[in-house]
Amino acid sequence: MTYEETIKKAKEFINVNDIIRIYYGEKNFNNKTIHIRAIIDEEQVVFCWYGKYKQRWFYAVEHLYFFALRLESDNLIKTKRKDT
């Protein structure tokens, strides 16, 4: 799969206000549930996750290719919002 095809697939998968689970395997401490907050210039994705140990929200900005690689390796799972 070419770079352009990979990026296109990631663009279709990720939308603002989505909740996505990054899952590397059972009991892996890198697993996290992220909330997509913004997409800047169709390339940069702003997302946040809640840190259980520090008990606060962490924000990060990553290139869309970060998500495209994880999507290719089946590490991204879309989840639904819980109604409050």
Within-domain flag for 84: no
> pLDDT at position 84, please?
44
How, if at all, do strands 19-22 and 44-51 pair? Answer: unpaired
Asked if the model's pLDDT at residue 20 lies above 70, the reply is yes
Query: In the structure, what pLDDT confidence band is assigned to residue 2 with cuts at 50, 70 and 90?
Result: confident
Domain CATH for 15: 2.30.30
Query: Residue range 48-67: average pLDDT?
Result: 93
Query: Residue range 15-24: average pLDDT?
Result: 94
Tally the domains of the chain.
1
Q: Which has more confidence, 48 or 1?
A: 48
Nearest residue to 77 via CA among 30, 12, 14, 9: 14
Query: Residue range 29-43: average pLDDT?
Result: 93
> pLDDT at position 82, please?
66
Residue 7 structural domain: 3-79
Within-domain flag for 58: yes
